[in-house]
């Protein structure tokens, strides 16, 4: 075969009907979002027939501390340009605390930066961030008071608490599991979450944030905790999945992951 006969792929393969491409920007040490999100969308596919593929870019981060988190922020635009080369339909910036470390409402600026990088690269895409998805989803649900679980050290948990409260949502209780190493966070057992949730101070809560972190595994516990406690349960991952589906114009139809993604949201407790 002569050289001119060899075809090199210089552009992404054409999109197939019924297929959506999802781009992820994750910390280099993240091991959870690339398992939980595909599993959620596999269930969506089973229910609807729509297919999804995932395409990731990784930004260096090993330890969950403010210095490494802020350093990761500067890599977001480059990661967005790289993942947009796959001509994705949506991009999720999947590091909640890296965004929140920048201060109140920082998700808006991060999402704008990522969207611009993708557009400048010739492949515009809808953009969400796990930080933005979490607060917007709580607001959309009408949740005014929540209790939450984080894997972070207490100072970072306090920062997340203040960020959420800056969006007009009171955090009644916030449990810190105090795990600094991000790989260790990904090894936490989600089966421990129901017991942790039972011990949350949740009187007056409208919802539970079972994992305010995209690296802390939680999917196997979401439905169990919601069923037991009778409150809507969301996580950074389920909120991100919800916003991706909205961006794609797809109705949620995911089983076993909480009412938010089921298509039949659980009613919030009646307020006195």
Please, which residues have CB within 8 angstroms of residue 86's CB and are 6 or more apart in sequence? 12, 21, 23, 55, 123
Alpha-carbon gap, residue 67 to 125, rounded angstroms:
29
Axis crossing angle, helix 106-120 with helix 130-141, rounded to the nearest 10: 120
CA distances from 189 to 62, 184, 194 (A): 19, 10, 11
Residue with the two structure tokens 């959870």: 32
Q: Which of 8, 79, 95, 187 is catalytic?
A: 95
- Angle subtended at Cα 258 by Cα 44 and Cα 21, rounded to the nearest 5 degrees: 30
Whether residue 213 lies in the annotated active site: yes
- Does residue 225 contact residue 161 with C-beta atoms inside 8 Å? no
- Does residue 88 contact residue 23 with C-beta atoms inside 8 Å? yes
Give catalytic residues, as residue numbers: 95, 213
């Amino acid at each position: 075969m002569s050289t001119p006969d060899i075809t090199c792929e210089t552009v992404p393969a054409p999109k197939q009907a019924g297929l959506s491409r999802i781009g992820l920007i994750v910390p280099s040490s993240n091991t959870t979002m690339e398992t939980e999100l595909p599993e959620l969308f596999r269930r969506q596919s089973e229910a609807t027939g729509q297919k999804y593929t995932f395409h990731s870019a990784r930004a260096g981060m090993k330890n969950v501390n403010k210095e490494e988190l802020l350093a990761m922020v500067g890599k977001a635009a480059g990661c967005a340009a790289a993942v947009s080369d796959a001509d994705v339909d949506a991009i999720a910036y999947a590091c909640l605390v890296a965004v929140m470390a920048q201060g109140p409402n920082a998700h808006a600026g991060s999402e704008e930066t990522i969207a611009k990088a993708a557009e400048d690269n010739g492949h515009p895409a809808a953009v969400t961030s796990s930080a933005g998805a979490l607060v917007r989803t709580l607001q959309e649900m009408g949740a005014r008071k929540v209790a939450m679980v984080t894997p972070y050290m207490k100072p970072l948990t306090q920062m997340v608490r203040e960020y959420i409260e800056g969006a007009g949502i009171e955090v009644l209780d916030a449990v810190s599991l105090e795990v600094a190493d991000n790989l260790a966070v990904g090894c936490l057992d989600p089966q421990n979450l129901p017991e942790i949730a039972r011990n949350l101070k949740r009187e007056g809560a409208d919802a539970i944030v079972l994992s305010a972190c995209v690296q802390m595994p939680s999917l196997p516990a979401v439905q169990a905790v919601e069923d037991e406690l009778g409150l809507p349960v969301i996580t950074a991952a389920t909120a991100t999945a919800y916003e991706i589906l909205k961006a794609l114009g797809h109705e949620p139809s995911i089983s076993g992951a909480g009412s938010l993604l089921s298509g039949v949201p659980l009613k919030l407790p009646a307020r006195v």
